[in-house]
């Protein structure tokens, strides 16, 4: 039987025409109206769908009056006929709706088939409630005290071998000591705080403590992030080689994979080969760039872990959240502000010698003891404008941020005049001359590594995709300038020197979303060269590549997990929902040595003030689970 959508009422038609709702949102509401025709419920369904498209896991009912008021202001009075506008009225109707399952105990896993779930004033599509519930249940269990016995004296001696005692708290040592005694550890820190150095020392210590060989796996959300993790771990192992027993390092893998490859993709299916009934064969899993992991992926990853496996998440809690729904790392890190428990402080002091009493809070959730924040950046010097600006933006300190971008720092420049768009194109094209100069002879695998390294010295980052201020406009403008300068011969879609970014995973070729390649001739044919996780460059015929885009310019979102010696950050002149503190911080911190900002002071100030908010119930779930556990 086919379902015919009824004609839209003037209210729904007006919302669609004004683009206040998507076709998908309205069609879902109409479809479910077969079981509940109440217009308040239908609008709540549409808003739940819309929020999911915006990266939120659920629709927060407390925003209901505000959303209706916003619509009222944007639409003509004649088109509108609103239902009840109070939160209490909407909540009551949802609780009585046959479409909605009402949850009070978030650990209740029983399913009754309703497409929507209502929990703690939040309305979910039930599938996403289950994802969030799975993550919360896993974290709740993993936050309980571990039953693995650790020799405190031996651990303290091993920590002294890895870390030279410091007059101030060495947060890397504290993080390693924390992770040695728990199933789950999250280590968060900004660029240059030493996350991969810390985790390499941690893995060496776990190998040293284990009476049998450990199966350790390294992973990251994208191929690019996996390659960087591979490189960073290899470098950290080399630096540790003169400091610790060689046996400690032999058990640390040298190769990271993407999460998709780790879990085992099944072509054409949303599920993976590894899941609760077929768990991953590993003892320890390290996942880098965890801020990029969306809620469904995190739920599937946790479900696939063996019961006794350790999980170590690395990431920067202040970076942009995942492109898809959820901000799991950010939600978990909200517990950092609660400090740690008294027993944990005493345990860590015994292991490391550092006094952590100032960070003790009596009422914190047990998960707090599994979270570690690296607080010192080793990348930026004391006189670095990039470091100072990143800190000010991260803190929402508009006054300090403004003082930084208006001062004459050696490593940061602000371009705010009317010619800033042209200047961005000019500087980007000049920066790309270095890699183009390497195309004067047939490309080999060794030469391609140098080619890609030269290309990665500079990158233009944009907030938008479309328009002259977006990556599409800038890629076209940069290409045209390079051709005018005689640096390129763009006579067809493919030409020597064209940089591309993969936008679709191809597991057969080993190319993943976010991978960067450059077209160059091997003397006979044009190939697109990529450095794969094995550290070697491989050339592919252009016709074999999965979906891709030209990549002289890339979005800030796509730049996560990358660093460039010189970063150009281009921001549009008009306000846009994408312009947030997290996007600005992420763009700034992609720069290692030089940052050029192309923006007006007004837009920059707006971004410093505007913090991203993603609606979810993960924190509430964990707090509710803890309260119910304590009450038993």
CA-to-CA distance for 293 and 163, rounded, in angstroms?
31
Angle at 126 between CA 124 and CA 131, to 5 degrees: 95
221 is in an annotated binding site: no
Q: Is 190 annotated as a binding residue?
A: yes
- Here the tokens at position 386 are 């990039």
Q: Which of 372, 366, 370 minimizes the C-alpha distance to 623?
A: 366
315 marked as part of a ligand binding site: no
d(CA 74, CA 528): 49
Measured CA to CA, the distance from residue 321 to residue 498 in angstroms comes to 30
* Distance from C-alpha of 346 to C-alpha of 349, rounded to nearest angstrom: 5
Determine whether the annotation assigns residue 399 to a binding site. no
**Residue 261: closest CA among 293, 289, 220:** 220
What is the 3 state secondary structure string of 340-364? ECHHHHHHHHHHHCCCCHHHECCCC
Q: Is 195 annotated as a binding residue?
A: yes
Judge contact between 329 and 614, C-beta under 8 A.
no
Judge whether 221 and 300 are in contact, CB under 8 Å. Answer: no
What are the Cα distances from residue 398, in Å, to 318, 414, 604, 605, 609? 16, 15, 9, 6, 7
Residue whose pair of structure tokens reads 């695998």 in the numeric block: 445
d(CA 76, CA 414): 42
Rounded to the nearest 10 degrees, the angle between the axes of helix 23-32 and helix 10-17 is: 160
Known binding site for ATP: residues? 189-196
Known binding site: residues? 189-196
């Amino acid at each position: 039987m086919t379902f015919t959508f009824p004609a839209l009422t003037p209210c729904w038609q007006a919302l669609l025409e004004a683009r206040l709702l998507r076709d998908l949102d309205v069609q879902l509401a109409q479809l479910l109206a077969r079981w509940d025709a109440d217009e308040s419920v239908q609008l709540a369904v549409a808003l739940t769908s819309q929020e999911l498209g915006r990266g939120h896991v659920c629709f927060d009912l407390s925003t209901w009056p505000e959303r209706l008021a916003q619509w009222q202001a944007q639409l003509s009075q004649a088109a509108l006929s609103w239902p009840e506008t109070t939160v209490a009225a909407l909540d009551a109707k949802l609780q009585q709706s046959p479409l909605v399952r009402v949850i009070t105990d978030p650990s209740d896993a029983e399913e009754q088939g309703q497409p929507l779930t209502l929990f703690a004033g939040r309305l979910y599509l039930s599938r996403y409630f289950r994802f969030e519930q799975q993550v919360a249940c896993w974290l709740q269990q993993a936050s309980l005290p571990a039953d693995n016995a650790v020799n405190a004296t031996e651990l303290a001696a091993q920590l002294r071998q890895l870390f030279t005692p410091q007059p101030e708290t060495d947060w890397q040592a504290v993080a390693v000591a924390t992770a040695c005694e728990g199933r789950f550890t999250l280590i968060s820190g900004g660029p240059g705080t030493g996350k991969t150095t810390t985790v390499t020392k941690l893995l060496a210590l776990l190998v040293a403590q284990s009476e049998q060989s450990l199966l350790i796996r390294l992973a990251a959300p994208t191929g690019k992030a996996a390659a960087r993790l591979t490189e960073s771990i290899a470098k950290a192992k080399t630096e540790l080689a003169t400091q610790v027993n060689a046996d400690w390092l032999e058990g640390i893998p040298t190769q990271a994979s993407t999460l998709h490859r780790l879990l085992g993709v099944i072509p054409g299916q949303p599920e993976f080969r590894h899941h609760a009934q077929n768990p991953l064969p590993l003892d320890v899993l390290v996942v880098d760039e965890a801020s990029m992991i969306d809620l469904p992926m995190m739920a599937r990853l946790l479900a696939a872990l063996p019961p006794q496996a350790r999980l170590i998440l690395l990431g920067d809690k202040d970076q942009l959240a995942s492109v898809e729904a959820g901000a799991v790392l950010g939600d978990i890190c909200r517990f950092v502000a609660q400090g740690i428990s008294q027993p944990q402080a005493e345990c860590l002091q015994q292991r490391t010698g550092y006094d952590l009493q100032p960070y003790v809070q009596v009422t914190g959730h047990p998960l707090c003891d599994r979270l570690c924040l690296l607080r010192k950046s080793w990348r930026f010097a004391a006189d670095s404008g990039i470091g100072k600006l990143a800190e000010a933006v991260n803190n929402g300190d508009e006054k300090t941020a403004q003082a930084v971008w208006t001062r004459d720092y050696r490593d940061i420049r602000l371009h705010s005049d009317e010619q800033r768009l042209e200047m961005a194109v000019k500087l980007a094209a000049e920066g790309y001359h270095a890699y183009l100069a390497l195309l004067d002879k047939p490309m080999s695998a060794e030469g391609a590594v140098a080619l890609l390294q030269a290309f990665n010295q500079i990158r233009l980052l944009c907030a938008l995709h479309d328009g002259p201020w977006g990556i599409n406009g800038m890629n076209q403008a940069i290409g045209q300038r390079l051709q005018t300068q005689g640096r390129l011969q763009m006579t067809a879609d493919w030409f020597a020197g064209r940089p591309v970014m993969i936008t679709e995973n191809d597991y057969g070729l080993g190319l993943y979303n976010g991978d960067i390649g450059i077209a160059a001739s091997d003397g006979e044919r044009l190939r697109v060269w990529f450095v794969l996780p094995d550290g070697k460059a491989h050339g592919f015929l252009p016709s074999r590549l999965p979906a891709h885009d030209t990549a002289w310019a890339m979005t800030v979102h796509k730049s996560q997990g990358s660093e460039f010696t010189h970063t150009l950050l281009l921001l549009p002149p008009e306000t846009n929902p994408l312009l947030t503190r997290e996007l600005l911080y992420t763009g700034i911190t992609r720069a290692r040595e030089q940052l050029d900002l192309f923006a007006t002071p007004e837009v920059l100030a707006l971004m410093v003030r505007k913090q991203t908010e993603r609606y979810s119930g993960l924190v509430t779930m964990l707090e509710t689970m803890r309260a119910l556990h304590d009450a038993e």
